[in-house]
Amino acid sequence: MYRIIKREEMAEGTIVLNEIEAPQIAKKAKPGQFVILIANENGERIPLTMADVDKEKGTITIIYMIVGKSTELFASLKVGEGYAHIVGPLGSPTHIENFGTVVCVGGGTGTAVLHPIARGMKEAGNEVISIVGSRTKDYLILEDKMSKISNELHICTDDGTKGRHGFVTDELREILESKKVDLVVAIGPVPMMKFVSLLTKEYSVPTMVSLNPIMVDGTGMCGGCRVTVGGEIKFACVDGPEFDGHQVDFDNLMQRLTAYKHEEEHSKECMLNKKV
């Protein structure tokens, strides 16, 4: 069992943080890599990119939004309890170097994944401009942490409850208009990454996105996580999870993410009915 040593609700009943004992994974993990978690012996394998790693304590941190049965199960685990299985670190680490000016765009819980990458970019000597967006201010996460490692931090909410009333792309366009940007890193919901990539293409700014398709093994064995990149089929688990945003077929990714929509709803319903 992989024991949870800290549990925090970043948005009540919606976004949860777990810090988990996993010394061997912590020892090897680099920014941009993911783990696969299984809640219990009947559970499914859920891939999540790590939000943080403490090599000294031997812990990893994940932040997730409760959406289906598995994340409900994750959220039900208390401090001292734990995950039946965690495997990782998987995927290729983020390529971090001094590019010059890097704009880091995070949407929803994607900001959790973005944070260690932005921090790495900052440590590598980049000027880091961050844009963090969410539907509403209650779902904004890691504002303080992002602020610490960014030269500038811009907040956007869809409903205007905090920061700019609008999308992250509105903010990004202004930045791209006003200064030379060497790289954009965008991590968040698929539509957000799609529109960021379309925008940066106009300005010919290289853009990196981190994809989270449906996976089973996470080691290249099943091909369930295949994504179309530059017209070719790639496996997100071993070729990614990060790809050139200008090459990714986001519409196909969105389509593939709905493959088990019916089953996912059924599974959650069964779980909730049992509770009642």
Partner 1 sequence: MNSSVADMTKKERRAIPRQDMNERDAKERAKCFDEVTLGYSLQEAQFEAARCIQCKDPACIKGCPVGIDIPGFLDCIVQGDLHGSINKLWERTALPAVCGRVCPQEMQCEAECVVGLKEGREPVAIGNLEMFIADWARENGVKNEVVIPPATGKKVAVVGSGPAGITVAGDLALKGHDVTVFEAFHRAGGVLLYGIPEFRLAKDIVDYEIEGLKELGVKIEYDSVVGRTVDVDELLEEMGYDAVFIGVGAGLPNFLGIPGEELNGVFSANEYLTRSNLMKAFDFPKFDTPIIPGTNVAILGAGNVAMDAARTALRLGAKSVKIVYRRTKEESPSRQIELHHAGEEGVEFEFLTSPLEFVGTDGKLSGIRCERMELGEPDESGRRRPIPVKDSSFVLDCDLAIIAIGTQANPLLTNVTKGLELNQWGNIKADEKSGKTTKEKVWAGGDITLGQATVILAMGTGRDAANSIDAYLNGESW
Instruction: Select 57 or 179, whichever has its Cβ closest to partner 1.
Output: 57
Work out whether strand 164-165 and strand 152-157 pair parallel, antiparallel, or are unpaired. Answer: parallel
Of 71 and 111, the one with the shorter C-beta distance to partner 1 is 71
180 vs 274 by CB, closer to partner 1: 274
Closest by CA to 146, choosing from 181, 100, 107, 112, is 112
Count of C-beta atoms within a 10 Å radius of residue 157: 22
Looking at beta carbons only, is 154 or 226 nearer to partner 1? 226
Closest distance of CB 24 from partner 1, Å: 6
Closest contact distance (angstroms) between CB of 260 and partner 1 is 5
Strand (E) or helix (H) holding 110: helix 110-123
Please identify, using beta-carbon distances, which residue of 24 and 136 lies nearer to partner 1: 24
The C-alpha atoms of residue 44 and residue 158 are separated, in whole angstroms, by: 32
CB of 268 to partner 1, least distance (A): 9
DSSP string covering 58-109: TEEEEEEE--SHHHHHHHHPPBTBEESEEEEEESPPP-----SEEEEEEETT
- One-letter amino acid for residue 133 of the chain: G
Q: Closer to partner 1 by CB, 73 or 129: give it.
A: 73
Question: Residue 6: how many CB atoms within 10 A of its CB?
Answer: 11
If the CB atoms of residues 25 and 129 are measured against partner 1, the closer one turns out to be 25
In angstroms, how far is the first alpha carbon of the chain from the final one?
29
* Beta carbon of residue 226, minimum distance to partner 1 (angstroms, whole number): 7
- The radius of gyration of the chain from alpha carbons, rounded to an integer in Å, stands at 18
In angstroms, give the least distance from the CB of 133 to partner 1: 27
| Smallest separation, CB 121 to partner 1 (Å) | 23
The footprint of partner 1 (CB under 8 A) covers: 24-25, 28, 38-39, 42-45, 69-70, 73, 84-90, 216-217, 219-224, 226, 228, 233, 238, 249, 252, 255-256, 258-260, 263-264, 266-267, 270
Q: Cα–Cα distance between 27 and 82 in angstroms, integer?
A: 19
Minimum distance from CB of 23 to partner 1 (Å)? 11
